[in-house]
Amino acid sequence: MSQPHTPIVLSVAGSDSGGGAGIQADIKAISATGSYACTVITALTAQNTRGVSGVMPVTGAFIEQQFESVFSDIAVDAVKIGMLGDADTIRTVAAAIRKYQPKYVVLDPVMVATSGDVLLAKDATDTLISELIPLADVITPNLPEAQALLAARPELNTASAEDTAAHCEQLLGYGCKSVLIKGGHQAADTSTDFWLGAQGLRTYSSPRIDTQNTHGTGCTLSASIASFLAQGYAMADAIQQAKDYIQAAIEHADELRIGEGSGPVHHFYRQAR
């Protein structure tokens, strides 16, 4: 009797020593949503719930070796890409994506941590746009990241629905298959994400939760989108499933007591019941 297929997601991201974001959040989210996680680590960070105190990049050669080790043995269904740090790392990862041709690529353009610490060198943005965004099935910038990618005005954080839809259209022009602009930075009682793809524009709205424990929300959302894509969901449905998961993980975040700053979401709230 043949074994059922195991949905497998490769997370390409930096390590968060505090465990709330990056590779650690990705592994938790992928596991909690029913898929198997493997990794390519692009950087080591010294960080906790209060901020990032150090970053140590991984060499391009070792990133390539990690990709080779995974793809030579493991049948990856989807790749989630997070923190890359600099232009050379972006080029290395883009070359690997072109070489191994995974079925799905979810790109979270990690530029700024929840704490406000910059995680992507400013001169790397053009490389991200030219080399990696065109390879993505979906990119998942938050509002400040979308602003940085478009060199838009600061007013983007309070943009109207029409303006945000227009920004989705502009980002789609960079060559990716679809764009999800996350609305968590909006000053409103409801957070609305805008997704634009071949099927047109769709919005995903959820009530805002009063908690400071939101460390790793972007990593968690993009990783869980990749997880549901690996399980066979269509993109719009994968996003909805991931939105439902992250909403509940934030709702249960205050059940955890982690650190003195912005704590993580509760990835395993279902298992804790």
What residues are labeled active site? Answer: 182, 214, 216-219
Q: How far is CA 107 from the centre of its chain?
A: 6
C-alpha pair distances (Å), 112 with each of 26, 27, 155, 167: 17, 20, 18, 19
Residue 20's nearest CA partner among 236, 231, 271, 256 is 256
Residues 6+ apart with CB under 8 A from 57: 42, 43, 85, 86, 89
Between helix 87-100 and helix 60-71 the angle, nearest 10°, is 20
C-alpha pair distances (Å), 273 with each of 28, 252, 269: 16, 11, 7
Q: Are strands 8-16 and 78-81 parallel, antiparallel or unpaired?
A: parallel
Dig out the tokens for 155 from the structure: 């007013």
Residues 6+ apart with CB under 8 A from 263: 20, 49, 212, 213, 215, 253, 256, 257
